[in-house]
Structure 1
């Protein structure tokens, strides 16, 4: 289920990326650069929401709802159901393939058609915990989280084995 308010933000993220040489200015979900940029944008949106909560500019429930809307919209993108014409999907981008892979790799107890969202919510939680680290450690942790999430969305096991239980 897609949120109306998240769709314009995700659509903006999926505008043809100028640094990429994609045919016909489309974003290929098989391209590691595209996937990393989408994950990084999600992380940046999450960091911004958490910082707004810390500064008292945003209620925690509103921040969580906003992050969930973004995760839900990206769930549709990565599972090939978003309808965005600027996105090139592959047979991998289905609940039966990507959803099942995430369910197995990240030990998700969610339906396969909701596993990208669940993984992204867990990622946002990890980012929130990274805010407690000193600046240089935080940047390193956020970069590692970005790479691991991109690897998962591309169907690769992250370099470090993960053993995660997610209660979202």
Structure 2
């Protein structure tokens, strides 16, 4: 399966956090710090892929494929099907809960079992668009997108206008 090559990276991200934040040495998908860390790492990996493609060190299709592999692997993590024993999933982490929520709130036209991946691809697209902003605005925009995505994965709709900021329209 396509996500197999992304599994080692996702597995490394899921190494238990320090005992100070996770006394059970497991990553709880109900813990805001864990979810934000996973989304932040996805954004960082996306930025790295964009940068590698921009400088010609990676073909654009390869960069997109790598981002998609990460999104597929995180889809499995957030929907509780990854098989990682270091992850604590909750009833929320299922296609009929989280997937349906994302499908509704983000207005995704994907099956519920693919909505985390679709939302993350939209996030990567918005991050790419944010790179066009002046440098002083770029970090703030990427951080806002990251926090919005983490909130969605925790079941919190964006507070501002009720719409998720991620829009794949050009």
Report TM bin, short chain.
over 0.9
Name 2:60's counterpart in structure 1: 60
Name the residue aligned to 2:119.
Answer: 119
SS in 2 for 1:126: helix
Count of residues in Structure 1 that have an aligned counterpart in Structure 2: 167
Residues of 1 paired with 2:122 and 2:93: CA distance?
20
Structure 2 partner of 1:90 = 90
In 1, Cα distance between equivalents of 2:35 and 2:121: 16
Summarize the Cα distance change of 1:65–1:20 in structure 2 as closer, same or farther, 3 Å threshold: farther
Aligned-residue CA RMSD in angstroms?
1.5
Q: Which aligned segments of 4 or more residues in structure 1 are displaced greater than 4 angstroms?
A: 163-167
CA distance change for structure 1 residues 3 and 21 in 2, over 3 Å: closer, same or farther? same
The question of 1:17 aligning with 2:37 is answered: no
5+ long unaligned stretches in structure 1:
none
Give the TM-score, by structure 2 length: 0.93
Distance 1:108 1:24 in 2: 35
Deviations 1:92-139 (A, max 9, x none): 000000000000000001000000000000000000001111222010
